[in-house]
Amino acid sequence: MSEHIKLPEGSIEKTTTTLNLGPTHPATHGVMQNILELDGERIVSADQTIGYIHRAFEKLAERRPLAQITTLTDRLNYCSSPLNNMGWHMTCEKLLGVTTPKRVDYLRVIVMELARIADHLICNSIMGVDAGAYTGFLYVMQYRELIYEIYEEICGARLTTNMGRIGGFERNFNDIAFQKLEKFLDEYPKALKEFENMFQRNRIFMDRTIGVGGISAERALNYGFTGPNLRAAGVDYDVRVHSPYSSYQDFDFTIPVGSTGDSYDRWLVREQEMWQSLSIIRQAYQKVQAFTGAEAEVYHADVPEYYLPAKQDVYTKMEALIYHFKIIMGETDIPAGEVYHSVEGGNGELGFYLISDGGRAPYRLHFRRPCFIYYQAYEELIKGAMLSDAIITMSSLNLIAGEMDA
């Protein structure tokens, strides 16, 4: 019998077990493969394979006019698409030298913070699922639904939003959007508090997450951690504060930081960030409501070279027709230059490095995808841990396969 079974060399003497975790495993929440070497249930080493959903966005972007690249950014971190969209528009605006009106900035802050809540909500509740508590996840999904309904009113889409344009938004927020926002601001805090009560001091959840997947501030910085994962390790770096964009300097908020950098601290940082986001949205909504007269109707910058004119003007006015044609056909002159712009994405610093040679499409566009950079620390985080800890560590990192593989 034995001559038919070809065992690899040395496999008889091997004292460890090889386990293939992923690429399509319910616990990896995305297409990621890890080949784990296990000694009993302890992890000796992990070999990560990524790239299963690589779609060559950077190459595609080299043929597209700036406005058409927004749809590519949707599909990076698809849990917080509007954040990516706004980040991309701001990069273009930086290159083109467009300044946006305050009302646009505040509206952007509202959608960006809604997206941050949606993103953190998924990550924190999925951590609960991996620790055995499915209820929290199902419960808070209703509130993410409220956020998606607001997106729908603003741009017509829910997941891949393609929201906003260079210079502002494609249309003004309608009354229903604001009503839904009020509903969300009214109902969500109670649910968030309940969600928090369910996990924050839950003995089982604490035992599963405290001391699991921890990293020191020094190692986290060396590994290029950003966002909540870095802040959980005790470094108060937040792009919104360090390099304010979209008038974040007008808002009053705090940056929650952790100390141990473990899964529990990451969970806590995200939880506190959601409260901060709620406060930012309230402030932004107040500021939006405070606009009067013509200012209260402003939803885009006055940049006819880059912002599509209203359709009725295209039919009746010569200038609008010319601009419309130039924008649609990609004939608008784009300045040559190199620009790096970053925003605080759902899981870290989302950067856009855009090189323009004056052509209709970027000469080169590179996305700094936060989770691609920090996922390489995963092996270090789980070495010596139990298999079940590896699962919860992975979900606590807020990995989004779409962003990682670009």
Partner 1 sequence: MSLTNEIIQQRLTEKFADQVGEFVISYDMLQFSAPKEINLKVLNFLYDDPQLAFTFLTDLTGVHYPDQKGRELAVVYHLHNLKDNIRLRFKVFTSVEQPDVYTATGLFSSANWMERETYDFFGIHFVGHPNLKRILNVDEMDYFPMRKEFPLEDQTRIDKDDEMFGRG
Q: Which residue ranges make up the site for partner 1 (CB under 8 A)? A: 50-51, 54, 56, 58-60, 62-65, 94-95, 219, 221-224, 235, 237, 242-243, 329-330, 337-340, 342, 349, 351, 353, 355, 359-361, 363-364, 366, 368, 372-377, 405-406
**Minimum distance, C-beta of residue 28 to partner 1, in the bound complex (Å):** 17
Amino acid 382 reads I
* CB contact at 8 A, 153 and 161: no
Nearest distance from residue 55's CB to partner 1, in Å? 10
Minimum Å gap between C-beta 336 and partner 1 is: 10
Beta carbon nearer to partner 1, 38 or 350: 350
Beta carbons within 10 angstroms of residue 289's beta carbon: 11
Q: Which is nearer to partner 1, 215 or 281 (CB)?
A: 215
Alpha helices in 291-386 (DSSP H): 311-316, 318-328, 370-374, 378-382
Q: For partner 1, which is the closer residue by CB, 220 or 385?
A: 220
Considering the complex, state which of residue 141 and residue 336 has its C-beta at the smaller distance from partner 1: 336
Instruction: Return the closest-CA partner of residue 370 out of 49, 79, 5.
Output: 79
H-assigned helices in 223-343: 227-232, 239-242, 263-290, 311-316, 318-328
How far CA 229 is from CA of 54, 249, 259, 269, 342, in Å, comes to 24, 23, 11, 8, 17
How many other C-beta atoms are found inside a 10 Å radius of the C-beta of residue 134? 11
Least spacing, CB of residue 249 vs partner 1, in Å: 13
H-run or E-run covering 354 = strand 349-356
State in angstroms the smallest separation of the CB of 344 from partner 1.
13
Structure tokens belonging to residue 355: 């090189």
Least distance (Å) from partner 1 to the CB of residue 253? 18
Query: For residues 259 and 376, which CB has a smaller minimum distance to partner 1 in the complex?
Result: 376
Nearer to partner 1, 157 or 322 (CB): 322
Which amino acid, residue 68? Q
